[in-house]
Amino acid sequence: MDTTGRHPSTAQAVRGFAYDHLPPHLQEVSKPFHDLAETILDRLPDDPELSAALRKLREAKDCAVLLAAVVRSDEGSR
């Protein structure tokens, strides 16, 4: 995501939405969060509420990706 010219707190809040490094089954869980973060970043100005929204979205993404990894791991151990 391009954060050129954005407030440092906005730029920091979008870190962690990359998904290319993940295995394919986790990429498909993570990508919609990346896409939504990019849409939000494109549509809204820098503001403490934007930073908060992006941080909370990243937290939600982290939870979903973790669950997908655990489910896959549990399925592999059966």
- Tell me which residue of 37, 41, 42 sits closest to 57, measured CA to CA: 37
d(CA 9, CA 57): 15
- Across residues 29-57, what is the average pLDDT? 97
Q: Residue 58's pLDDT band (boundaries 50, 70, 90)?
A: very high
Round the average pLDDT of the chain to a whole number and report it.
Answer: 94
Asked if residues 54 and 33 have their Cβ atoms less than 8 Å apart, the reply is no
**pLDDT digits over 8-17, tens only?**
999 999 999 9
Neighbouring CB atoms inside 10 A of 74's CB total 9
H helices present in 1-78, as ranges = 8-13, 24-43, 48-76
Please give the average per-residue pLDDT across 56-73, as a whole number. 94
At residue 41, the pLDDT reads 96
Instruction: Please give the residue that has the higher pLDDT: either 59 or 72.
Output: 59
Nearest to 22 by CA among 76, 66, 56: 66
pTM of the model: 0.89
Residues in the chain: 78
